[in-house]
Structure formats: C-alpha cells, structure tokens
Amino acid sequence: MNKLLSFLRLFLIKSIIFFQFLKIRIFKMKLSRDRFELLKHNLNFYSFNLKQRKALKVNEEYTFKSKIKYKYFLVDINKFTGFDGFFTYNGKAPLLKTAIEVFNCPKIKAHESYLFEFFKNFKPKNYGELYNLSLNNSLYDLSSFLQFKPWVNNVLDKTNLRKGLFGPSEINEVEHRLIRLKNIFRNIEKFGYIPSEKDIIKGYILKSNNDYRFLITSGHHRVAALKAINSVHPDKFKKVIVTFEEKRCNLKFVNQDDIYKWPAVVNKLCSKEDAFELFQKFFYI
C-alpha cells in the first residue's frame, strides 16, 4: 500500500511539473502560487530527491579577510542577509519569526502566522518605506516592486517587477511559504540537512567596515529554517554550506570601498551617498 501511495504521489507531482512546464515554456505564462503550485509543495516534491544524497565535504569557512579557494564554503549563520534586506531575518524578521512559529507548531495555519499579519500591515509603496531611507535619498520614490541594487544595475528597468517579502499579497503567498517551511523541517528531521549541488544556498558576499554579509539569491526559506533550529538548539547549524550564485548574477564580492565603481553610481542613477545608505540596509535595520 505504501509503495502504491508513493507511486501515485510521484505521478501527481510529475504531472503538475509537466503542466507547469507547458504553462511557462509553451504558453509563456508566469508561474503563480495557484492551487497546483500549492499542491505540488503539499506533496513535498523535494523529498523524492533526498534519499540518495551524499553530504558535501566542506571544511573551508569564510571570514572577512579570507579568500575563497573552493566552490563550496561555510558562513556563520548570523551573517546572512535577505534579497530584500537585513530585515528578512532581523528586527521585523518576517521569515525567521514565521519559521520559529512553524518549528514550534507545525500545524499552524496561514492566517495564524506572523507572516500573515506582517503582509497585512507592511505594505511599502516605495524604497523609502521598504528600507527606511532618508527622505532626500534619490532612490526613495522607487517602487518597492522594482529590482534595483546600485552594485548590480546599470539601468533602471521599470518593467522588471517582482513580489517582495511584503504586502499587499494574497493568502496563497503566505500558504506557499508556510508549506515550504513545514517541508524543510520535515525533511531535515527525516533525512538530515544534506544540501546538494543543485539546491545549495546561493548568493554573494557584501563587505563593509571589516564585516560581511552573505546576500542570499536562492535559499531564503532554508536559511530561515536553519536559523529557527539554531535559535532553539544553538549547537546546531552554526555554520552553513553555501556557494556563489552563477545564474542570476555573476557577482562574488561587493566591497563598499569600490562604491565609485558600482554600475548605478557610474551611470549617475544615484550618488555614492544614496547607494551607501541602501547598501547599509543589507547589514543593519
């Protein structure tokens, strides 16, 4: 019976993935948090790839002054910063606080979660409200839905919109994130935390004033789950395996000292002072 249920579950997962492939590649539609996407995560589709995994052997740890010699390396769990900024895991900490709730109460409902209230109450209209920038910062009025970082972008593409870790948002967005967190905890409990080359946490390093942050481009929910476990069991996940992002960007290090070379500063999209204020929001709240 268990084998039959496992087969049916896998068949359903593959059917959804095929349907989504057609939707994105053939019909050129965007992947949405619809009922099919939620069902795929409810079926915990990642778990099918976990049984055969072998742990990566990683001994190199990054510190501010060290150089990276290998593809995979360790970073301090307290040095992560989110794609939307430091508030992802600190202060308001929407992902971390929600992950802790899920860890302590796995059956928590979306509308009962901190993330639900956060999305309902935190609806920044611009970068000024999102990052708490100075009113005189030239980036203040940028839409909160724009993807713009002075150390990455050399143009301001107002057509490249995205959903960030803030409202307004549909309940499906909250449900989607809760399901992912619940699955991560289940999978860690059953299989342990064994990142593979395909789904290792990815990003790049920001350096400022003898300190650093690892800015995540892939793996926000995994980091939230690991930090939640670490907050309860400080002896676990002190160091986390990561690698540099290769697909979404080609950055490895962004140094505050090179701010005059940043694309947006060179192209006069913002001043060094304005770029620096935003940069610091990925280090501090």
pTM tops 0.75, yes or no? yes
Whether the pLDDT of residue 226 is over 90: the answer is yes
pLDDT of residue 27: 67
- Could you report the per-residue pLDDT of 152-198, keeping only the tens digit for each? 999 998 888 888 999 999 999 999 999 999 999 999 999 899 888 87
Indicate the burial class of 240 (C-beta count within 10 angstroms; 0-12, 13-18, 19 or more). Answer: buried
Q: Which of 121-130, 212-221, 247-256 has the lowest mean pLDDT?
A: 247-256
Taking Cα atoms as reference points, which of 117, 80, 33 lies closest to residue 225? 80
Confidence of residue 47 (pLDDT cuts 50, 70, 90): confident
Going along 209-252, which residue ranges are E strands?
211-218, 239-244
Confidence of residue 41 (pLDDT cuts 50, 70, 90): confident
- Could you report the per-residue pLDDT of 233-269, keeping only the tens digit for each? 999 999 999 999 988 888 999 999 999 999 999 999 9
Confidence of residue 1 (pLDDT cuts 50, 70, 90): low
- What percent of the chain has pLDDT above 90? 69
- What percent of the chain has pLDDT above 70? 98
Question: For residue 228, what are the contacts with CB-CB under 8 A and spacing of at least 6?
Answer: 96, 99, 100, 102, 103
pLDDT, average across residues 40-48: 77
Residues 166, 13: Cα–Cα separation, whole Å: 29
pLDDT, average across residues 194-218: 93
pLDDT, average across residues 127-138: 98
- For residue 184, which amino acid is it? I
Domain ranges of the chain: 58-280
